[in-house]
Amino acid sequence: DPRTQAMLSATNYDDAEKLYQRALAIRENALGADHPDVAQSLEGLSALYRQSGRSDEAEALYQRAEAILSLPS
């Protein structure tokens, strides 16, 4: 049933979003906002947003990740 599949997909995205956000918060708190591992979490959340049609939010997270990765080590 297509409606069931859509509901499951939405639930999976919601669950995945919560997990990505939690991982991001943990990494920011533990490592600092400009750590490359934070950029990795941002990229993951960005990809999820892109897949779920949230392009503007995805782009903002991607830009933040790129800014972190362009910082000198």
Q: What is the pLDDT of residue 58?
A: 97
Q: What is the pLDDT of residue 2?
A: 66
14-62 pLDDT tens trace: 888 999 999 999 999 999 999 999 999 999 999 999 988 999 999 999 9
Could you give the percent of the chain with pLDDT greater than 90?
68
Is the pLDDT at 73 greater than 60, yes or no? yes
Give the SS3 label for residue 72: coil
**Please, are residues 45 and 21 in contact by the beta-carbon 8 Å criterion?**
yes
Cα–Cα distance measured from residue 34 to residue 66, given in angstroms and rounded to the nearest whole number: 11
Predicted TM-score of the model (pTM): 0.85
DSSP collapsed to 3 states, 14-55: HHHHHHHHHHHHHHHHHHCCCCHHHHHHHHHHHHHHHHCCCH
